[in-house]
Structure 1
Amino acid sequence: MKILYKNISMVLLSGVIMLTGCYKDESTEGLLEQNKVGLSDSKTDEVISVFQGELLNLKPTLSQSMKNNMDDLSFQWSVYDNSPTSNYTLPRFTIGNEYELKYTVSGESFTLGQNYLLRLTVTEKSTGISSFLNYRLLIANKYGTGWVVLEDKAGKGDLSFVFPDYTVEHGIYTDRNTTVLTNPKKLEIVPYSITDDISASGKRMYILADGGSQEYNFLTMVKKFDYSFLFFSAPPVIKPSVMNFTSASANSASRSANLGIAINNGKAHSNLVGGFPGVKKWGDIALTPGGTQNYNLAPFASGGSTYPAVVYDNTSKRFFYIRGYSPTPVAGSLEAFPSAASSEGVFDMNNVGMTMIFQDSADVVKSINAVMRSDDNQPYLYKYKTESTSSAPIITLSKTQMNAPGFLSYTAAAGSTTTPHIYY
């Protein structure tokens, strides 16, 4: 009997298997063919270089296999980081929702020199089916080589850029920035890298004006920081004339910052640099050796290895220097020059007795030309250097009465570093 039951079970199981194997699948009958959206553009074959401030205009070829209903399509242009470590899981931002992309590349969204993947997603609203097209972007630097010019247009500041082929682009500042520059005074460019832990290490550029002074990004041509933000404690009066960093080296290939020096409203502020952690900004007003703020600096500064920053007080009519760091006296204070720094037969750094009206680099490395106006309105050329040694401590070089008609009323001047001339 047991054997009989087993045979019956085997027969029943075989029947189930046969029934299952003979089932006719009719699930694919009646399926409708879906509309297919095709996207193509020859620009996807290469990297698209685009400049900051330039219009990015893209309109790929679009086709539909079954209908031509653009109203049923939605569009999204998304930008992704295209670095080797990117996984494209999330878009950085969306820059358009129309079929044709018209987007002005801005420094706020795109980083100069960065590679990006730009993806167009086309979705059919009725079905939810999406099609994709990828572009590769490189944000290029249009202003990498040339000359930046600060302009005063009836009291309002602007920038122009002169390219190596001598073509000129005007309105660079006003086209990209909303902060108004009033009574622009000066452009300050630091030609070597600065590490201040406020922003990425690199060269610095400052626009000085009666209103709207700022640190400026000369790569993207947009404002970085307000002038007051660059100080630990903002000065009560904003009237800048100098904001730069001195260097102990004259070799352009190895120059680095020695000390930051800012002159605002005639007062000195210093900015320590170095390999220590933390944010570096300009400090409080430097005090005289007597512990007062009773001085008014000329709008010039120099510096070198021995004397990191050299400034001139038109109130006491003498030079001071500011050291890079020392706990006593406090770093940033104005200090008198040692008596050994001056030659009796030339002039005394601590007792000049004239008003400084101009200063710039001379044609000899680490030497400075300073033009003074005497009480009887005569121009004198004072020359000094910013480096000394224990065996040669004297830094005063010469004092000469100038034969330079009209110099006392100059509007612009520059010292030559290749010939012994001052152009005005």
Structure 2
Amino acid sequence: MKMEERLDNMKIKTNINMFQVVFFAFLLSCLGSCYKDKGNYDINMPITPEIIGLDTLYEAVVGDSLIIEPRFEGIDANQLEFLWNIMVPESINPERDLYEGSSLRMLFGYGAKVYTTRLTITNKANGMKYFHNFKIRGITEFSKGDVVLSIEQGITKLSFVKPDNTVQPNIYEAINGENLPRDPLHIYFMRHTGINNATPLGYWIVTKNGGVRIDVDDLGLEKVKPNTIRDNFFLAPATIEIGNLQNHPNGVLMGVINGKFYGGTMQTWDQAHTYGMFGNNADGNYELAPQFIMSTINGNTIMIGYEKDKKQFVRLNIYGIPMYFGTQYTPIDPGIFDPHNVGMDLLHIIQINNADTYAYMKDATGNIYELKFKCDYIRDFNFRSEHKKLFVHQDWINADTKMVATQTGNIYIAAQNKVYRYNPINQQIREMETTFNDKVTMLKLEDDENTLIAGSEGSIYYMDIHVGRNGNLIKKIEGIPGTPVDMAWRK
């Protein structure tokens, strides 16, 4: 290589090395300066106004004044703007649902529902906005309390029991100017239990040949949706004879009408006018006894029914609508009793914790048998017979007997003017401590199953059935017209 080329190469390498030295010196200088500047900047974050005294839920009496007056700290309230927005889905003009000012003051003219509300706070100096959401629940004098269905001299009565235990008898007649249908069976508080803060769907009062739906907030006849059982059919049959209707967790009625199984439609919004209406009955050649079991397991609903002519247990499932499958299940241990050929009449059927089921049957000679079994109508589609034995108190069981079961396995049975706790596993029986002067005509369980509620001529009795307690009287509500039949409540 020539001397000139060597000199050129040395110059290039020297320049590259010099560039690297300068670059690393610059980098070290930047790192050092960055390190020295760390934490030396003054950041002026905008002050967030602190809101004090704003709850997550307010109750407002319909037609009365509502005042919400929180306090604000951390910034002068004069620098803030306030906008309250009550979100009313049915509102025609949403602008009317906007309110300005540091407090919300209004005459609450909305319905007895739950309304999401947003308070927007704007800092006028910098335009920053802060949002606070809460709810307002509209209530009436009937939004909390019990409704009691009874019968007095053949006339169906409805009473309202206030939270302070004051009784307003004959409330339906007073509000609607007419009597309820005769032969009452049940009253149900209808709501979609799978939805938080679900809008109540009314009270259904079910009677032998019909029934009515009333508004939960004023106890008047439902004004928008079907308000009679007959009108609740898309195409009503010529005659209606109700064997038994129950309240499905989705807030629709399901059960036996004219010996067939009907279920309220659930394939639409639960506020739609058609929600809960009866379409066609579950198709099949059958005649059901009034008594049946309805269980919801992991979102699946099954029914255990009884074909009264063929004297056999039958299967029904809900696949969008109720479907009758009859004896399309596999009997297990039919030697104990054959569910396809029971050969007796069903008087009562009751289930414990979606599992053990007890049926009380009457044979041709008048003997009462207790049949225990389990059904799997979801996965294996089988019916397991577990025992068949004469019931220990033959005189307790008839078509009018009242009984309820707890999930812990106890069955409470009313017999004349006494109530008993019966353990079907060991057949242990114990009389409750509360005494009654007249026949017990109603048995209910509080939602927590720690209180047993009994109805007897003119009165409602609340009994303590916590573990270790034996049905001692908690309280007694008097003034119910006639004999109680059923009751429902809103807490």
For 2:152 and 2:62, the matched residues in 1 are separated by 26
Deviation at 1:191, TM superposition (A): 6.2
Give the partner amino acid of 2:305. Answer: V
Deviation string, structure 1 residues 119-153 (Cα, Å, up to 9, x no partner)? xxxxxxxxxxxxxxxxxx99523334443211112
Conserved? CA contact 2:261–2:281, under 8 Å:
yes
Report the more deviating stretch, 343-352 or 228-237.
343-352
Secondary structure in structure 2 of the residue aligned to 1:176: helix
Residue 406 of structure 1: aligned partner? 395
- CA gap 1:216/1:316 in 2 versus in 1, 3 angstroms: farther
Residue 222 of structure 1: aligned partner? 220
Deviation at 1:386, TM superposition (A): 4.5
Equivalent residue runs for 1:162-311 within 5 Å: 162-189=161-188, 192-193=191-192, 202-203=200-201, 205-210=203-208, 213-224=211-222, 225-246=227-248, 256=250, 261-274=254-267, 279-280=274-275, 281-288=277-284, 292=285, 295-305=287-297, 308-311=302-305
For 1:310 and 1:187, the matched residues in 2 are separated by 20
- CA gap 1:271/1:349 in 2 versus in 1, 3 angstroms: farther
Residue 36 of structure 2: aligned partner? none
Give the partner amino acid of 2:348. Answer: F
Bigger RCO of structures 1 and 2 (CA < 8 A, at least 6 apart): 2
Determine if the alignment matches structure 1 residue 367 to structure 2 residue 359: no
Deviation at 1:188, TM superposition (A): 4.2
Report the more deviating stretch, 271-280 or 201-210.
271-280
For 2:203 and 2:267, the matched residues in 1 are separated by 19
Conserved? CA contact 1:188–1:243, under 8 Å:
no
Q: Which runs of 5+ in 1 are unaligned?
A: 1-46, 57-81, 90-104, 116-136, 248-255
TM-score (norm 1): 0.57
Deviation at 1:181, TM superposition (A): 1.9
Give the partner amino acid of 1:221. Answer: L
Conserved? CA contact 1:194–1:204, under 8 Å:
no
Secondary structure in structure 2 of the residue aligned to 1:308: strand
Deviation at 1:207, TM superposition (A): 1.0
For 1:163 and 1:386, the matched residues in 2 are separated by 41
For 2:137 and 2:318, the matched residues in 1 are separated by 41
Give the partner amino acid of 1:375. Answer: A
For 1:416 and 1:391, the matched residues in 2 are separated by 26
For 1:421 and 1:138, the matched residues in 2 are separated by 38
Determine if the alignment matches structure 1 residue 337 to structure 2 residue 327: yes
- CA gap 1:351/1:201 in 2 versus in 1, 3 angstroms: farther
For 2:380 and 2:336, the matched residues in 1 are separated by 19
Deviation at 1:186, TM superposition (A): 1.8
Deviation string, structure 1 residues 28-84 (Cα, Å, up to 9, x no partner)? xxxxxxxxxxxxxxxxxxx996579xxx9xxxxxxxxxxxxxxxxxxxxxxxxx946
- CA gap 1:49/1:324 in 2 versus in 1, 3 angstroms: closer
- CA gap 1:188/1:400 in 2 versus in 1, 3 angstroms: farther
Conserved? CA contact 1:207–1:213, under 8 Å:
yes
* Percent identity over paired residues: 18
- The structure carrying a bigger strand percent of its residues is 2
Residue 143 of structure 1: aligned partner? 142
Conserved? CA contact 2:368–2:394, under 8 Å:
no
For 1:384 and 1:220, the matched residues in 2 are separated by 44
For 2:374 and 2:215, the matched residues in 1 are separated by 32
Give the partner amino acid of 2:290. Answer: A
Deviation at 1:160, TM superposition (A): 1.4
Deviation at 1:284, TM superposition (A): 2.2
Deviation at 1:270, TM superposition (A): 2.7
Residue 380 of structure 1: aligned partner? 369
Deviation at 1:237, TM superposition (A): 0.9
Deviation string, structure 1 residues 377-414 (Cα, Å, up to 9, x no partner)? 11122233454675794443433321224224463402
Residue 351 of structure 1: aligned partner? 341
Secondary structure in structure 2 of the residue aligned to 1:376: coil
Q: Which runs of 5+ in 2 are unaligned?
A: 1-57, 65-84, 88-92, 98-107, 116-135, 415-491
Deviation string, structure 1 residues 4-51 (Cα, Å, up to 9, x no partner)? xxxxxxxxxxxxxxxxxxxxxxxxxxxxxxxxxxxxxxxxxxx99657
Deviation at 1:213, TM superposition (A): 0.8
For 1:113 and 1:193, the matched residues in 2 are separated by 14
Deviation at 1:323, TM superposition (A): 2.1
Residue 31 of structure 1: aligned partner? none
For 2:355 and 2:189, the matched residues in 1 are separated by 17
Report the more deviating stretch, 149-158 or 410-419.
410-419
Secondary structure in structure 2 of the residue aligned to 1:213: strand
Deviation string, structure 1 residues 255-307 (Cα, Å, up to 9, x no partner)? x57x852311322223343568984422223343xxx3x52422434234466
Residue 320 of structure 1: aligned partner? 314
Conserved? CA contact 2:345–2:363, under 8 Å:
yes
For 2:231 and 2:383, the matched residues in 1 are separated by 39
For 2:351 and 2:183, the matched residues in 1 are separated by 23
Conserved? CA contact 1:206–1:243, under 8 Å:
no
Deviation at 1:233, TM superposition (A): 1.0
- CA gap 1:179/1:325 in 2 versus in 1, 3 angstroms: farther
